[in-house]
Structures are given as C-alpha cells and as structure tokens.
Amino acid sequence: MTLTRLKSTNNTRFLTNFKLSVKLKYYLDGKQMKPSELKGKSGHLKITVDYKNNEKQNVSVDGKDTEVYTPFVMMTGMILPNETFSNVTIDNGKIISDGNKNIVIGFGMPGLKDSLNLNSEESDKVTIPESLSIEADVTDFTMSSTYTVALSDLLDDMNMDDIADEIG
C-alpha cells in the first residue's frame, strides 16, 4: 500500500488514496478540547481515536453478490513521557514502558464486523474494535506526534474459514 498524501482538517486525518479516516478527540476532565487548548494544562485526559472505513467492494459469498468493506487494520501509536503522563490505560491496544516513557499502540478494524454480518449471539462472542480510548493523568500537558497506519494485507495470512467454523 502506498500513501502519497495525508490531509488534516479539524483533528480528522484523511488518507487521500483510500476512503479511510481517523478522528482524534481530546477530553480534559470530561470537557472536549482542541489539542492547542491542552498545552500546559493538568487533569485527567481522555483521547478517543475513531476509525472509519468507506472502502467497499462487491464479492461473491455462497453464490450471492454481497457488498463488504475492504478489510483494513488501523494502528495508532504515540509516545507519552512519564514526566507528563501517569496512570496510562488503553482499551484496544498495548502499553510498553521503558521507565521514562510509555509507548501506546492501539488498533481497530473498521467495517469488519458489519462485513461479517453476524447475528446478535455471534456478535456477542466476538470483539472487533473500530475505535480506541486512551486515558491518563497529565501534568503540564505537552505531546509529540501521533502516528496512524492502515494495513490492508495483515489478514491475508489468516484462514478466515477456520475462524468462521469456530464461531458457528
């Protein structure tokens, strides 16, 4: 996959070669704020990352033409220094600490759950996130870059037939 340009508007980043978007929202002590308003502030921070997939294709499933989302795994990462961030948590991802900073990596698979067309019982057995949430206590807020990557080939090596057999 080749990305030639990333456009940013109002905390939403669009990958121009694909119909994907990433929207980050920042909350300090429950109040939504722009990133520029957070500089130097302290309190409880929540960052939500919402992925959206509008890339659909028609495929044949059991002899029927069906519209499904192109499968993408979206991953967002950021480095949060311990001197500014403490008590860091993430709901769909992993935190790695080296003692000086936390490396936070989260993921989502937007559109996949809809494409699987699961009934409510099956849906309750499977967790397929389309967003993530990071929370931390912050002092004198400052933050470096946030990186997001979209991978379309991560699921290629998985045998989805085996997964479907286990669910059914």
- With a CB cutoff of 8 Å and minimum separation 6, the contacts of 124 are none
Q: What is the mean pLDDT of each run of 10 residues along the chain (168 residues)?
A: 43 58 95 94 97 89 87 93 96 94 95 87 87 97 89 65 53
Taking Cα atoms as reference points, which of 124, 108, 120 lies closest to residue 71? 108
What pLDDT does residue 123 have?
82
Q: Are strands 31-33 and 101-108 parallel, antiparallel or unpaired?
A: unpaired
Beta partners for 61?
64
The H or E element that residue 44 is part of is strand 43-53
Length of the chain: 168
